[in-house]
Amino acid sequence: MGKGRAALTTRGNVPRGPQSRVARLAMVAVPLCFFAIFFAYPVATILDRGLGRRGRHNIADLFTDGQLRSVLWFTLWQAVVSTLLTLAVGLPAARALARYRFTGKAIVRALVVVPFALPTVVIGGAINALIDRFGLDDGPVRLYHTTWAILLAHVIFNVAVIVRVVGGYWALLDDRVDESAQMLGASRWRVFVEIDLPRLRPAITAACAIVFLFCFTSFGVILLLGGPRQATIESEIWRYAVQRTDFHTAALLSAFQLGAVIAMVAAATLLERRIGRLTGHGRVAAPRRLSTSRERARAAASLAPTVVLVALPLASLVERSLVVRGGHGFDNYRALGSRQRASSTLLVPPIEAVRNSLLTATVATLIGLVVGGLAAGAIVYGRRAVARVLDIGLMLPLGTSAVTLGFGFLIALDEPPLDLRTSWILIPLAQALVAIPFVVRIVVPALRSIDDRLRDAATVLGASPQRVWRHVDWPVAARAASAAAAFAFAISLGEFGATSFLARPDAPTIPIAMFRLLSQPGAALRGMAMALAVILGALVMLATLVVERFRPRSSVSL
Amino acid sequence: MMVRRPLVAFLATCFVALALTACGDDSSSAGAKCFDKPTTPAIASDVAKTATKGTSITLVTHDSFALSDGTLEKFTAQTGIEVKLLKSDDAGAMVSQAVITTGKPTADVMFGIDNTFLCKALEANVFQSYESPALANVAKDLQLDPYHRVTPMDIGDVCVNYWKDSFASGKAPASFDDLTKPEFKNQFVTEHPDTSSPGFAFLLATIAKYGDKGWESYWRKLRDNGVAIANGWTEAYSEQFKSGGGDKSIVTSYASSPAAEVVFSEGKLTEPPTGLINETCFRQIEFAGVLRGSAHPEAAAALVDFLLSDTVQSDIPLNMFVFPASKTAAVPAEFSKHAKLVDKPLTLDPATIEANRIDWTERWAKVALR
């Protein structure tokens, strides 16, 4: 197989992108400015301000204080283990979804995104309820408030990233190679290890990097499922900055977190580059129907872990939304439309939160697509140094504490023309920061996977560079971007951290409304919160299904 | 070297950004004691009348802030001043944000800082003094700051609540000591004092009750009796407590939670399903204040007056489930029927709380989380 692998890897020249000067300038300038103004500047400001104050801990404590050291160590190892577990659960499902056609496939693809998009407080609550129901809260197998619960929750939340990012890439790979190898007698395992895995490495690296960053900066899951004894760097930053107003210690931890994230992202990008460009687009494989019952059983077994893990908490959530006094019913949903019932808690009928959420998410997605799309272009077509800065820099918001960023916004963006502290646009901007890495990580591997020979062939046949770009690169980019848009939209819909941290004019999004309903006693309000959560989940599924339905078909084929 | 230029440019941007912030305004008088005389001159008491029509000011508050529809609009109708509402996550986040932006606030008035956070904000010089004429209607013992940087707004208690159905009549827990007894083993859930304000209030209650020498041994007994620690009120009350479908029968919540259970039941309940352990109640007084650096201090002062008027004060109980600070405000019967302030609540001096906050929570963690 050595020969086959070598043939799949070509280190082509930097592909030619759009030739117009304006386009090339925009590709570099827009993402760089966005990153500098809305990330580097606020974060630098808050770190500088925090480090200039006095606090409980100094820099040496990071390495000598037993408690801080155990926090750093726990943060790191739980993120590594969570990422590996998520990969193990998600990879088989990614393959089944990439290679096969079956009834309900679109539903499964949309379903996995739901926990990823729902606020932690909802899914975390559902997981706790499940732990309770299966009797795992006490006794010999105890999950409640343990590290196991954290790992489990991280898998449930992040499996979508593996399934969608790797699965999407997998679907673009030519499956004839697999077939030939299998016909020549290679076992399925061997085909996977020697043919699929090497070709998938760019997507796996990208997806794992994202999952790792999410777990590394995990906050809600730690507080909600880990109980009072577990702490990560992120939850400690929050505790020091928000609860203790000790900005010095918080800034120390933030700086450490940022340093670790930069090192990690740099390593991942380096790894990705070492892999080289893989040309997989010989022919985009059409997913096959499951023909034999053995094949069906195998596909079901591949999908089962992911589907069960994702569906159980969601089912529990739906059930809880239907609980009314003395049985089940739709009362909680009916109550959402009335201003009366929740007026004192929300000031607006809860259903208005749905409108606010849709609006914010749409704006955030558009910002994310424009900035992320341009950045992806700059990374693939641009000069190497620019590419590197953007490649690493744009990932950093994923690995930066929401608290650090939020405080940074508050003290950095306080002068005209950038006095955005109380403007509504700050929320979609903060959400876009989280969405951009997804756009970049999904679009870049897709663009890089385009066979240079295709471009050469088009050029030889007389196509202008613009035409080559439009007909070869653009369709692939647009297809990847639409997958990224679904992610960006889902993230923004459910985003809670930045939205709740930044004080905002009173237009609650769904997660905020839900949180407020949960902050009052009374079964009626809790029921409404659950109903809102179900609506949010349904919106996420719907958005994903719609985006998939209208995504441009790839026209790349040789 | 040509290739490296964008990188250099980018790094330069970062350094410029850093340099710019180094000259930012951070005039908090570090080291000031909580109730020291403020250096910023007070807003004159009659200034509110001079507020100009057409001004727009911002009121920042915590997530539990609520008033009936149209209440703030009445202020606009009276004075011609527009009020924009900004909601922060919780009181802790709101105060931290105010401390880091001190002198350059995101709003003009803050509502909802309580006595457990008060000195944190006062020491950071967040507020500007303003003695509202409406203070005439407010009991002197609520006016904790002698310089009136903050004005009392409402009063509530944090108390241990219990689920009535879990206990035969006369068998419900009734004191701090009961919580350590075997018949209530594994039934009590409270919140982490470092991540939850009712959790912190309950810790303060035990310190007020048992003193600096005794509270740790009380917590040791609580721990040995299986006290559960949740990270926040929502997890404790809505997940672990019976009211939320959990299996714990005793929880740290508010004195008004029983009344809230009735009001939020949408008429399905006439009697609260929960009761209070009066001995455990810790007093929380919430304040409002004009933020130092406000561009419209006279309009902000007018808003403080309005917040202390009967219009707002009488509207507070059923919306925020706390008692008004003003003696002239009317408390609706629907509220007072199920909620009352305890006679002798536990309290601690705000300056003592701030001086010991970190020490106490860290000592608590060593005992309770072992």
Q: A246: which chain B residues are within 8 Å (Cβ-Cβ)?
A: 358
- Using pLDDT thresholds of 50, 70 and 90, give the confidence band for residue A554: very low
Nearest CA among A274, A171, A269 for reference residue A480: A171
Mean per-residue pLDDT, A301-306? 94
A375 Rama class: left (phi>0) / alpha (psi -120 to 50) / beta = alpha
Tokens of residue A347, six digits: 């000031």
**Interchain contact, A506 vs B87, CB within 8 Å:** yes
The phi, psi pair for B283, rounded to 5°, reads -75, 130
Point out the least confidently predicted range of A217-231, B168-182, B220-234: A217-231
pLDDT at res. A340: 55
CA distance A436 to A31: 10
pLDDT surpasses 50 at A557: no
- DSSP for B66-84 reads ---TTHHHHHHHHH--EEE
With 0-12 CB in 10 A as exposed, 13-18 as middle and 19+ as buried, what is B23?
Answer: exposed
Burial class (CB in 10 A: 0-12, 13-18, 19+), B174: middle
Rounded Cα gap, residues B260 and B255, in angstroms: 10
Question: Directed axis angle between helix A197-216 and helix A247-275, to 10°?
Answer: 180
pLDDT of residue B174: 95
The pLDDT, as a whole number, for residue A427 is: 87
- Residue B352 banded pLDDT, cuts 50, 70, 90: very high
The answer to whether the CB atoms of B239 and A49 lie below 8 A apart is no
Query: Residue A129: CA atoms inside 13 Å, Cβ hemisphere, count?
Result: 22
Q: Which residues of A touch B18 (CB under 8 A)?
A: 44-45, 48
Q: How far is CA A382 from CA A37, A229, A234, A343, in A?
A: 21, 47, 34, 53
User: How much is the pLDDT for B231?
Assistant: 86
Q: How many CB atoms lie within 10 A of CB A26?
A: 16
Cross-chain residue pair B234–A56, CB shorter than 8 Å? no
Whole-number Å distance between alpha carbons of A483 and A110: 11
Regarding beta strands B82-87 and A504-505, do their DSSP bridges make them parallel or antiparallel, or are they unpaired? antiparallel
Chain-chain contact of B14 with A44 (C-beta, under 8 angstroms): yes
Interface contact B10-A344, CB threshold 8 A: no
The model's pLDDT over A430-456, given as tens digits with 9 standing for 90+, comes to: 889 988 988 988 888 788 877 778 888
Minimal CA separation from A245 to chain B, in Å: 6
Quickly state the pLDDT bin for B27 (edges 50, 70, 90): very low
Partners of A519 on chain B (C-beta within 8 Å) are 63-64, 233-234
Angle at A539 between CA A171 and CA B93, to 5 degrees: 110
- When mean pLDDT is compared across A417-421, A553-557, B303-307, the lowest value belongs to A553-557
Q: Which residue, among A45, A122, A79, A43, has the nearest Cα to A217 in the 3D structure?
A: A79
User: Residue A290: pLDDT above 90?
Assistant: no
Contact yes or no for B188/B250 (Cβ under 8 A): yes
DSSP at A365? H
pLDDT band at A129 (very low <50, low <70, confident <90, very high): confident
Q: Which is more confidently placed, A205 or A142?
A: A205
pLDDT confidence bin for A285, thresholds 50/70/90: low
- In whole numbers, what is the pLDDT of chain A averaged over residues? 83
- Mean pLDDT in residue range A507-514: 82
Percentage of the residues of chain B whose pLDDT score is greater than 70:
91
Query: Cβ of A521 and B233 within 8 Å?
Result: no
pLDDT band, residue A492 (cuts 50/70/90): confident
Amino acid residing at A489: F
Match 């709380």 to its residue by tokens. B353
Close Cβ partners of A247 (under 8 Å, ≥ 6 residues apart): A46, A49, A50, A53, A55, A240, A241, A407, B100
**Chains A, B: CB pairs < 8 Å:** 181
Could you tell me which of B136, B145, B153, B156 has the C-alpha nearest to residue B303? B153
- Considering only the beta carbons, identify the residue of B5, B194, B257 that sits closest to A239: B194
SS3 B254: strand
pLDDT for residue A189: 86
Amino acid at A227: G
pLDDT at A24 over 70: yes
Instruction: For A213-309, list the strands marked E by DSSP.
Output: 277-278, 288-289
Look at A240-249, A280-289, B211-220 and tell me which has the smallest mean pLDDT: A280-289
pLDDT at A1: 35
The verdict on ipTM greater than 0.85 is no
At residue B31 the predicted structure's pLDDT band, cuts being 50, 70 and 90, is: low
For residue A11, is pLDDT > 70? no
Distance between CA atoms of residues A218 and B17, nearest Å: 28
Interacting residues of A327 by C-beta distance below 8 A, sequence separation 6+: none
Which one has a higher pLDDT value, A87 or A167? Answer: A87
Considering CB atoms only, which of B4, B231, B266 is closest to A228? B231
Mean pLDDT for the stretch of residues A215-236: 88
Question: Considering only CA atoms, which of A435, A433, A427, A436 is closest in space to residue A400?
Answer: A433
**What digits encode the pLDDT tens for the residues B267-323?**
788 899 999 999 999 999 999 999 999 999 999 999 999 999 999 999 999 888 899
pLDDT-above-90 percentage for chain A? 26
pLDDT of the residue at B309: 96
Which residues contact residue A52 at a Cβ distance below 8 angstroms, ignoring those fewer than 6 apart? B26
Q: With a CB-CB cutoff of 8 Å, which residues 122-151 of chain A face chain B? A: 125, 128-129, 132
Q: What is the pLDDT of residue B161?
A: 97
CA distance B2 to chain A (A): 10
